[in-house]
Structure 1
Amino acid sequence: MPELEVAGKRWTVAPASNLLDALNAGGCRVPFSCRAGSCHACLVRCLAGEPADARPEALSPAQRAEGWRLSCQCLVVQDLRVEIFDPRRDGIEADVISVDWPATDVLRLRLQPCRPFRYGAGQHVLLWNDEGVARPYSLASVPGLDEALEFHLDCRLPGQFSDRARRLLPGERLRLGELHGGALHYDPAWDARPLLFLASGTGLAPLWGLLREALRQHHSGPIRFIHLAHDSSGHYLAGPLGALAAAHPSLEVRLVTPAELPEVLAQFRLVSRQTIALLCGHPTGVEDFARRLYLAGLPRTQLLADSFLTRDA
């Protein structure tokens, strides 16, 4: 039976146990969200031994060389000594610059890191609050365009992180996980290809950043941007999106509610096979968008998606 060791504590686990589950069952409180190797919330560093890794490509060679592994994708097949990501040691302090509500259930949080923080548009990072609760959130900001890091938090339901975030004040501090994740990005090689952005709810956050990144790089192909919200009040960036569409004739923005969604989905059969589709939001919406696009003939390799999961209510 393999043994796990963390901070001097050792215990036996069943062979081929999921590493994330085994660590949390042992009281280690490893955060997680997607369980698909995308959000990178469950990073741990292997100090001795090697797990069976189902997605080694999900981390960079440099990260893997340092021993980092995504615990949700690993099985315990031999004795392992593991170090849990520690925000006090591995994280970056960030000051709360502002907190506001662009919609009644969407909290916009802006942070200023206390030291240089490298990231790309569309990525997400791990946020730790002063109560020791961590969650991955996508960045709505763009490096070089925005001075602060911007996040959009869905606060429709109670949650350990969002409940504390409601009470944040300028001047308070959070910590950032410096190791970024996410499937979404903009590639300058896509310059002339049609882009299709599909966001639901606060899945709008990373796609807002990627849209501005594409326009900053003078994307020459047509861009269609669709945001699905539970009702019209949920289109919390309607004004900024409309302003961008007015300034860029190649950009079409459509704001839809569930009642209008069937008409939008029916139009997917007209999507060019050269299109690059970027999807983000609740898993149900993302999966429906992806399935419709695939049935319309869009190759899977041209579809990039991130899903948001709610861990606690």
Structure 2
Amino acid sequence: MAFLPFTWVRGLTSLLSPLRLLAAHGWLRESDVDAGLALLHPALRLNRVFAQVTQRHWVADDMLELTLRANGNWRSAQPGQHLQLFLERDGMRLSRSYSLTAVQAGGRLQVAIKHQAGGRVSPYLLEHLAVGDVLELGHAYGELSWPAAPQGVLLLAAGSGITPLLGMLRAALAQGFSAPITLLHYVREQGQRGFAAELQALQAQHSNLQVRWSLTAAGAEPEGLAGRFTGEHLAEVTQLDQRRVLACGPAGFVAQVQQWWQAAKLPGALQTEAFTPPAFSRDISVRQVRLGFTRSHQQALANNQRSLLEHAEEQGLKPAYGCRQGICASCTCTLVSGTVRDLHSGALFSEPGQPIRLCVSAAHSDVEIDL
């Protein structure tokens, strides 16, 4: 039960400065102060960022957009970046990263969540998180950005890859971007077309915007596309050689776009972001290696094709993580000995004491990590 309205929570942030100073110098324990503040309102903290759910809006059959309002510790972010959401379930602290689809004044922000079958976080957020509930927020991260050049833009999305691109598209149109924009969104079925109604409305409102969908598990709709990404889908995109290209989706989709872009030899830089780990290299023969967790005093046999994060979790360990795709660096750990392989690039790392990201690193030899 909250004893203060949320509007007071944001206003109290500046008044807590003396307590922050005392905690910073060791006169108070921040955790003790936070425990007391949480009795007044679950989102009230000295330094940590908490946000209250103010609205739930289904934007596809399997995607929900949450509108949140953060406490006064929120320091803003850019649409298209990712944001970690933390929650406690059955005594465990869980987190996942979701794309910011809007960032507004007064600590208001929106994230979109796609249902992941068998997941521990997204099904709970979609089915049980209610308006008025409170979540902890992490730092925003992500390097996708709207092109600074005034040329046209081509946006290519697959599945939930629409969410960061939509965030940037909303902001660009609101700021008066007038060059041609084409958005192609690849989904399995019609009901998975995230934000379809809004995108159609934006297309009607802005003459420079064209939106098309391709159904990958069904036939094309009238005047629509069908199947996975191919360069032939871009035949009607005007001035293609002058477009800046941004692509987001699963690793396989991003790889297809990269291959097309390299073959097309378009000017400018291609911006991509994959939200699934890359496919394991088939050039590396499968074998077992020994994996040691020094702080936990555990040993295990590891498959050299799987990530260190997966092996650690199978041993009952609970390393921190966020995106599980090598972007946020939340799962960074120290290599004690042995050689690991970066699953993105195939690069090998063997220098003791160097940081490695567990979610995109696999054991290349017997390995010891500080976990």
TM-score by length of 2: 0.54
Larger gyration radius, structure 1 or structure 2: 2
* Residue in structure 1 matching 2:260, options 261, 277, 292: 292
Q: Secondary structure at the match of 2:128?
A: coil
Taking a change above 3 Å as real, the CA distance of residues 255 and 112 of structure 1, as seen in their structure-2 partners, is same
1:304 paired with 2:271, answer yes
* Residue in structure 1 matching 2:104, options 112, 121, 143: 143
**Over aligned residues, Cα RMSD in angstroms?**
2.6
* Residue in structure 1 matching 2:143, options 151, 163, 183: 183
Superposition map of 1:3-82 within 5 A: none
Q: Secondary structure at the match of 2:242?
A: coil
Give ranges in structure 2 of 5+ residues lacking alignment: 1-44, 220-225, 278-323, 326-371
Taking a change above 3 Å as real, the CA distance of residues 176 and 206 of structure 1, as seen in their structure-2 partners, is same
For 1:220, the equivalent position in structure 2 comes to 178
1:153 paired with 2:110, answer no
Q: Deviations over 1:114-151 (max 9, x none)?
A: 1243111211111111231111111011435x973211
Structure showing greater relative contact order (alpha-carbon pairs closer than 8 Å, 6 or more residues apart) = 1
Aligned residues: 220
Distance of 1:294 and 1:129 partners within structure 2 = 41
Q: After alignment, is 258-267 or 234-243 more displaced?
A: 258-267
Would you say the 8 A contact 2:66–2:111 is kept in 1? yes
The one-letter amino acid paired with 1:154 is: K
Distance of 1:129 and 1:262 partners within structure 2 = 35
Shift of 1:109: 1.8
The one-letter amino acid paired with 2:55 is: S
Distance of 1:123 and 1:90 partners within structure 2 = 21
Distance of 1:91 and 1:277 partners within structure 2 = 36
Superposition map of 1:212-251 within 5 A: 212-251=170-209
For 1:279, the equivalent position in structure 2 comes to 247
Runs of 4+ deviating beyond 6 Å: none
Q: Deviations over 1:229-252 (max 9, x none)?
A: 111111131111111111111111
Would you say the 8 A contact 2:186–2:228 is kept in 1? no
The one-letter amino acid paired with 2:104 is: P
